[in-house]
Amino acid sequence: MAGYIRNDIYFDIMRALQGIGPAAVLPNGIALLARTYAAGRRKSLVFSMFGATAPAGFVVGALFSSIFAQLSWWPWSQWTLAIVCVTLALMAYFVIPAEVSSAVHPMGKIDILGAVTIVAGLVLIVYSWNQGPVVGWNKPYVFVLLIVGFLIVGAFIFIETKVEEPIMPPSIWSVSGFPGVILCVGLGWSSFGIWMFYLVQFIEVLRDKSPLLVTAMLTPLIPGGLTATILVSQLYHRVAGHHLLMASMVFFCVGNILIATAPVDQTYWAQTFVAVLLTPFGMDISFPAASLIVSNSMPSSQQGVAASMINTVINLSVSMGLGIAGTVESQINKSGNDVLRGYRSALYTGIGLSGLGIIVALLFCRVPVVVPADEKKELDGVAVSSAMAGSEIAMTGGESNLPKSEGLELSRIEQSEQKLNSYHNLTEVDI
């Protein structure tokens, strides 16, 4: 239907409908993966691969859209995407297994009042927040809509404390590290939204490149994202989650710095290429790291809600960050004659947001290293065997009567005990 757009209102409606898709797919997908895989390396790899679809999908979609727009007819980009979505829906019906476990809420109810209030509140906030830089913050209706939006969100918070099955249970905010993770992800992705928008504007407007060439310049997002995916899957059980989140904020910050300081006439292979190569690390570290932290700390009944919170915060923060950056740009470039200075000021805003995210990750997102379930089971069994062996030695007066082969096994047990202690020590330090 988006291929038949003729005015702004129709476009806005189609964009809203398009947003319902990922809003339904992402949290349910994360919940399915979280309940299918136990904490371990396979789960980390799966979540990392799930996160890698963001940069890959962005580049592939932008590539085909640019090709259709430049060489054919732009509606074909929408119609092709519709064909792909229908194909994936049919594949999902046959490929995704039916859930065999009992329902989390067999008699679940829909929080209609909560859903209506939060959607209405966020729509008003996002609209007014992004309308301010366009028409000016001196327009009364902008402030009125913003205030009304915050009041409705306040009403939503009150409603969630009263309903039987809230759409956002207040108890999730009491989980250790969850509020900090949400804030950190919001700050990082708001800076990413600023980086992405003003990078494209910088290349298209100031460097005068075609949309197809801009898409070609963004292709390093894919290898960068895949590399980050592999790193996260290997590092999550060696590095604490808040350190991974901090690293993702650093990549977001570096990406904004490189574009904010890049000269207009500089070659693409200098700062721009490096920024496009590094910034995906921020995306593909923050999303799977946050998802894994939430998955491993939340009960199964709340994993879908927590996952939807992460997805909502990512999309909301991108929009809110652009509103802040747009306000800064419009104030710096009031005359419209200093476009470069306006763009750089907006990117400086992204630097500040990601820098604040680094601080939040260090102070408010502290979580221990997660020991893989298979290794934990093995180590627990080794600990029991070690205790039994120690008891036998003690009963014989401190001398071991074990055969040579069993003595070798005891040596292996002692090595495993050291590994178990190293896990415990690392966890205590990170907490």
Domain ranges of the chain: 2-98+179-364, 112-168, 373-430
> What is the model's pLDDT at position 226?
78
Q: How many residues does the chain have?
A: 431
Report the alpha-carbon distance of residue 140 to residue 288 in Å, rounded: 41
Cβ atoms within 10 A of the Cβ of 391, count? 9
Strands (E), 183-227: none
Q: Please name which of 188, 198, 316 lies closest in space to residue 254, comparing C-alpha atoms.
A: 188
> What would the two tokens of residue 16 be?
């809203």
Q: Please name which of 63, 57, 64 lies closest in space to residue 80, comparing C-alpha atoms.
A: 64
Burial of 215 (0-12, 13-18, 19+ CB in 10 A): buried
Q: Where are the alpha helices (DSSP H) in 365-403?
A: 373-395
Cα 367–Cα 368–Cα 372 angle in degrees, nearest 5: 125
Cβ pair 34, 40 in contact under 8 A: no
CA distances from 91 to 32, 87, 96 (A): 16, 6, 8
Q: Is the dihedral of CA 159, 163, 167, 170 positive or negative?
A: positive
> What is the model's pLDDT at position 301?
67
One digit per residue, the tens of pLDDT, for the chain of length 431 reads 766 777 777 777 877 777 777 777 777 777 777 777 776 677 777 777 776 777 677 777 777 777 777 777 778 888 888 888 889 889 888 887 776 555 555 555 677 888 889 889 988 998 888 888 888 888 889 989 999 999 999 999 999 888 888 888 888 887 777 888 899 999 999 999 999 999 999 999 999 888 888 888 888 888 887 787 777 777 777 777 778 889 999 999 999 999 999 999 999 999 999 999 999 888 888 887 787 777 777 776 676 677 778 878 888 898 889 889 988 998 898 777 889 999 999 999 999 999 999 999 888 876 655 554 444 444 444 444 444 444 443 444 444 444 444 444 444 445 544 544 544 444 433 43
> What is the model's pLDDT at position 375?
47
> What would the two tokens of residue 79 be?
């119609």
Report the alpha-carbon distance of residue 332 to residue 351 in Å, rounded: 17
Q: Please name which of 220, 203, 210 lies closest in space to residue 267, comparing C-alpha atoms.
A: 203
Query: Hey, what's the torsion of the CAs at 104, 109, 111, 113, to 10 degrees?
Result: 180
Report if pTM > 0.95: no
> What is the model's pLDDT at position 272?
93
Q: Which CATH superfamily is domain 2-98+179-364 in?
A: MFS general substrate transporter like domains (1.20.1250.20)
